[in-house]
Amino acid sequence: AQRVTQPEKLLSVFKGAPVELKCNYSYSGSPELFWYVQYSRQRLQLLLRHISRESIKGFTADLNKGETSFHLKKPFAQEEDSAMYYCALWAEGGGSEKLVFGKGTKLTVNP
């Protein structure tokens, strides 16, 4: 069965420190993975996806198929990075395709 695990409910770092939000997945097919972010009082929005191999707002994420991971990293956290982060997997199963979200990690960047 497809599953996305974000082991940390809460993560707190200081401004300027490196940050890593962990994401592990379970999926028998070829994974398509995404990070979505929800800033306070804003809508859920796509941050980045693994197929684009891009860096958005200083964040990067590398798909590691051996470790079934897609961790989100930023070398120097900023206060404006404080938000809820969801890792999501595009999964096919039971005749349907859909996004399966992890439970999310709330990141707080302290001044």
For residue 103, state whether it binds another protein (rule: CB under 8 A).
yes
Question: According to the binding rule CB under 8 A, does residue 96 interact with another protein?
Answer: yes
Map the footprint of another protein across residues 21-80, applying CB under 8 A.
Answer: 32, 42-46, 49, 51
Q: What distance in Å separates the CA atoms of residue 29 and residue 32, rounded to the nearest whole number?
A: 9
Six-digit token string for 2: 């497809």
Taking the C-alpha atoms of residue 111 and residue 109, their distance in angstroms, rounded to an integer, is 7
Listed ranges 13-21, 58-66, 68-76, 96-104: which one lies at the site for another protein (CB under 8 A): 96-104
Report the alpha-carbon distance of residue 58 to residue 41 in Å, rounded. 22
Q: How far is CA 9 from CA 6, 94, 96, in A?
A: 7, 29, 29
Q: Cβ closer to another protein: 57 or 103? A: 103
Q: Is 99 in the site for another protein (CB under 8 A)?
A: yes
Binding residues (CB under 8 A) for another protein: these are: 32, 42-46, 49, 51, 86, 90, 96-99, 101-104
